[in-house]
Chain A
């Protein structure tokens, strides 16, 4: 497994990276942690003529609070997310997810931006970002623009990003204090993509669900926001029959592939089970 050759570029600023991608054209690819792209290149399923390595752009790294938002640089690694105090205090759904992504080595170099940007339906963070209603900031030849995670994923490996655009940061509305959260992932082994996974972020008051968001991983061409299930559960007290209806609504929007993880019917059912478990755990964590 040997990749084809390519030209290598290592910009130190976002502007330089955007300029390089513009001048190199469509056969150039941005390189983040490389854990999606490099195996694809080794299998010769991808053969970009040029790589623009984003790893030395300081502006793409780190976590900060900006008003009502947590801002995460696209090149912030999973390892950093698992140990960042702001993330731990404000968006614990993120480190809970990072911890079940790949393995320790990959988490050291795998980035949040790399996980969300390429539209791989197997990645975990896209559904989480949809659940958190994050916004992606894209820099391109015509300046920067923002796209909601919930509107970013168009198909397997197809996103709203235009050629030449790079993801610079992810802006996450700071969840309300005391919010409940959970990411439940079923996988065959460490290092595998999810057979199915569900993310839940909710707030509760007097045992009643105030707000809720649900994301599903790897059970369709794209990550899914389980809108109908969210509508059913909002305002409920998570009564068993309501949960049953919500789970059925969530299962209804899945369209998984049959593969080594199991046939489609199994993966759909597992999306439902993961959702049930995530709901229970998120509710148990919610205060209020």
Chain B
């Protein structure tokens, strides 16, 4: 060997495979302003659509007069429900088994609801025209409070389904009722509560908020009438599903619908579903025969497309007096707004809320969820979390704190006492999940040791004493959360969207000189898929990541997949990528053996090629093998190197983590300061630590915002309050705390590379951690629970009520 021969480390480093902090491929264009987002698209003759929206939360539409709008120069058409009805497009199916009005049909059910769609030559004229459409309303009493939805005299909201006693998920109890979803052993749970030493019960409200990506929802629809083909560009987290929906609704064969999701400016769950804007743009393009663009403005985004949460969770725990939890009982009142437009897998009307037993070995549990309609925007999307997992983790992690308080026990100790033990995995939970792997005690211990937990508690005790003596007006809260996520939806046996199983896919094609193109059914919105999928392939196939191009979002070229949300890209499409790579690798092994003139069992993979076992100098590089695949494949073998995998995961993955927050609160103003935030994440095998850290920073920042003030508020008349970035709390760099990250690694046993997914963990674990910090700060004054969001005035009010 001469000095020029690269070492094994150098060969590995050259691949930039799994585990390295590879710099992102995407950044080259984004840092130069050369991203290609939907609104950057310009097509010849393109028109612009804009909505006329309801000013009322609940009203009958008496008349729509578009004549003044149509008379405005540059206006091409105004669509109303009357135009859509003959096409049977005035309603569209939601992912949750409900229907949603595309344009309001006779009645409006929330403020901001789509009433008419104005199409004009540019966005300025469209905005002028939308103002000129006159809508005459007859006001109806609004229903805003979900707790009043099923009152005997509650206003009837959904006249379109008023006679349906059966919904998509079983019987309806009331005309404003959507579903009653129950799981677990009710009898056993009730019995456990009856005999319990200690019980706690608290109604934990998780307020309505919104994912609010910086780029709003938008699309361009272009119908080519000659070819009978529709192309739809849009901000789609699930482009293939959108294509199926568009095809079904428009009656255009699926192969003639081309859906393309270009660069997306953040999604966080907002861009999963189908919105009236998409449907109206498609209809307008079909009617007018030219491309039509629709771009939501910020106020429309915050007040109409896809809120999150609005879950009111009455949570109970039963325990022995020494702190062993014996049962959990939860009832949720779920406010879905005017239409159930949850973006959940079809069989899961409350998502995976039944992960609410959390990280604890709870022998018996029962969960019941009642969904109701109100005069608010439709939705219930998973905002940076797997379906309803943030809600579930909030419920258990607040309940644990409340129980610890009642027991007079340290909450970290209570957690340690009840954790599922490492040897119990795979663990069957009382509410039906099989947790794949975990080592909770190690993670929790590491977190407590790193932050110096005992010293923090001692400091807190001293501060409380000083506060009681009147020496300070500042109190200190220590928030802990230990979460278990359930992500990677999901096995097709129990997860589907509109009947399509929630597999995902990867197709890898290696060209003769070693360049690779790989396509997935997912769609990045900032997660860095172009970088990380290439790292998986690089390690699996021994080809440098820089030689691998990742492409997503074009439904013509990418294999069918269910998209990116619920942290499913790594668990599902990442697995598909590894599986497809391994198919190629198996073929490469045959080719290598042929080239080396040995039996294929006698060669083994070695970083970036194959070598003969026991004769390491007899080897063929992947580059040589790839060329041979096209140049001289073994006899009876097809040329080429290409594979596709549609991966149906055998189980979900269960990332977990231990978070700890230290917060100082000025009781005179309610102003808080996050002094320290430590986040330990275990997402299994780590593909790119740099990107994981970035995901954690971002998720924690969103969690901070949600816990501390980010809210969609309504007044009693159903008017949306503060739907702009003035009021909607998106912290700037000044308010955002500094994040400390850490990790343990417990690979998923059923995932090809052991990875679990991470994007949503920090949000899921972060929200209860902040809320626990606030609640912990006030606990010594006798408080058991203070509702979120914890904005200044609410903290101040709580302090007042506690006599601080």
Interface of A toward B, CB cutoff 8 Å: 1-2, 4-5, 43-44, 103, 186, 188-193, 195, 259-263, 266, 269-270, 273
- Indicate whether B734 reaches chain A with its CB closer than 8 angstroms: yes
Q: A186-B671, A189-B735 are in contact. List 9 more A-B contacts (CB 8 A).
A: A1-B297, A1-B298, A2-B126, A4-B128, A189-B732, A191-B732, A260-B722, A262-B793, A270-B669
Q: How far apart are B338's CB and chain A's nearest CB, in angstroms?
A: 23
Known: A1-B297, A103-B732, A270-B669. A191 touches B793 (CB 8 A): no
**B736 — nearest CB in chain A belongs to which residue?**
A189
- Indicate whether B131 reaches chain A with its CB closer than 8 angstroms: yes
Contact with A along B125-139 (1 / 0, CB 8 A): 011100100000000
Interface segment, one of B167-175, B224-232, B610-618, B723-731: B723-731
List 23 interface pairs A-B (beta carbons < 8 Å), by A numbering: A1-B127, A1-B297, A1-B298, A2-B126, A44-B131, A188-B729, A188-B791, A189-B731, A189-B734, A190-B734, A192-B726, A193-B726, A195-B793, A259-B722, A260-B713, A260-B721, A260-B722, A263-B793, A266-B670, A266-B792, A266-B796, A266-B797, A270-B669
List CB contacts (< 8 Å) of B290-342 with chain A.
297-299
Cβ of A186 and Cβ of B123 under 8 Å apart?
no
Cβ of A273 and Cβ of B668 under 8 Å apart?
yes
Residues of A within 8 A of B124 (CB): 2, 5
* Count of inter-chain pairs, beta carbons less than 8 A: 62
Q: What count of chain B residues pass the 8 Å CB interface test?
A: 31
Known: A1-B297, A2-B123, A260-B721. A191 touches B726 (CB 8 A): yes
**B793 — nearest CB in chain A belongs to which residue?**
A262
- Indicate whether B709 reaches chain A with its CB closer than 8 angstroms: yes
Known: A2-B123, A44-B131, A260-B713. A189 touches B793 (CB 8 A): no
CA distance A262 to B725 in the complex (A): 17
**A266 — nearest CB in chain B belongs to which residue?**
B793
CA distance A189 to B726 in the complex (A): 9
8 Å CB contact of B299 from A1, A191, A270: A1
CA distance A44 to B731 in the complex (A): 27
Cβ of A260 and Cβ of B735 under 8 Å apart?
no
Residues of B within 8 A of A188 (CB): 709, 729, 791-792
Known: A260-B713, A262-B792, A273-B669. A189 touches B123 (CB 8 A): no
**B126 — nearest CB in chain A belongs to which residue?**
A2
CA distance A1 to B668 in the complex (A): 39
What are the 7 closest A-B residue pairs judged by CB atoms, nearest first?
A: A262-B793, A2-B127, A266-B793, A260-B727, A190-B732, A260-B722, A1-B297
Residues of B within 8 A of A189 (CB): 729-732, 734-735
CA distance A2 to B126 in the complex (A): 9
8 Å CB contact of A186 from B713, B729, B792: B792
List CB contacts (< 8 Å) of B727-776 with chain A.
727, 729-732, 734-735
CA distance A270 to B734 in the complex (A): 21
Q: How far apart are A269's CB and chain B's nearest CB, in angstroms?
A: 7
A4, A186, A188: most-surrounded residue (chain B CB, <10 A): A188
Contact with A along B764-804 (1 / 0, CB 8 A): 00000000000000000000000000011100110000000
Residues of A within 8 A of B126 (CB): 2
CA distance A43 to B62 in the complex (A): 26
CA distance A263 to B727 in the complex (A): 14
CA distance A275 to B800 in the complex (A): 19
Q: How far apart are A126's CB and chain B's nearest CB, in angstroms?
A: 19
List CB contacts (< 8 Å) of B110-147 with chain A.
123-124, 126-128, 131
Residues of A within 8 A of B731 (CB): 189
Residues of B within 8 A of A192 (CB): 726
**B668 — nearest CB in chain A belongs to which residue?**
A273
Residues of A within 8 A of B297 (CB): 1
CA distance A183 to B729 in the complex (A): 24
**B300 — nearest CB in chain A belongs to which residue?**
A1
Q: How far apart are B231's CB and chain A's nearest CB, in angstroms?
A: 26
Residues of B within 8 A of A193 (CB): 726
Known: A44-B131, A186-B669. A261 touches B734 (CB 8 A): no
CA distance A178 to B557 in the complex (A): 73
Residues of A within 8 A of B713 (CB): 260
Q: How far apart are B392's CB and chain A's nearest CB, in angstroms?
A: 28
**B794 — nearest CB in chain A belongs to which residue?**
A262
Residues of B within 8 A of A186 (CB): 669, 671, 792
Q: How far apart are B627's CB and chain A's nearest CB, in angstroms?
A: 55
CA distance A85 to B671 in the complex (A): 34
Q: How far apart are B795's CB and chain A's nearest CB, in angstroms?
A: 10
Q: How far apart are A121's CB and chain B's nearest CB, in angstroms?
A: 15
CA distance A266 to B791 in the complex (A): 12
Q: How far apart are B172's CB and chain A's nearest CB, in angstroms?
A: 35
8 Å CB contact of B792 from A1, A2, A195: A195
Residues of A within 8 A of B730 (CB): 189
Cβ of B796 and Cβ of A269 under 8 Å apart?
yes
CA distance A266 to B729 in the complex (A): 19
Residues of B within 8 A of A269 (CB): 796
List CB contacts (< 8 Å) of B646-687 with chain A.
668-671
Q: How far apart are A104's CB and chain B's nearest CB, in angstroms?
A: 11
CA distance A5 to B735 in the complex (A): 38
Residues of A within 8 A of B298 (CB): 1
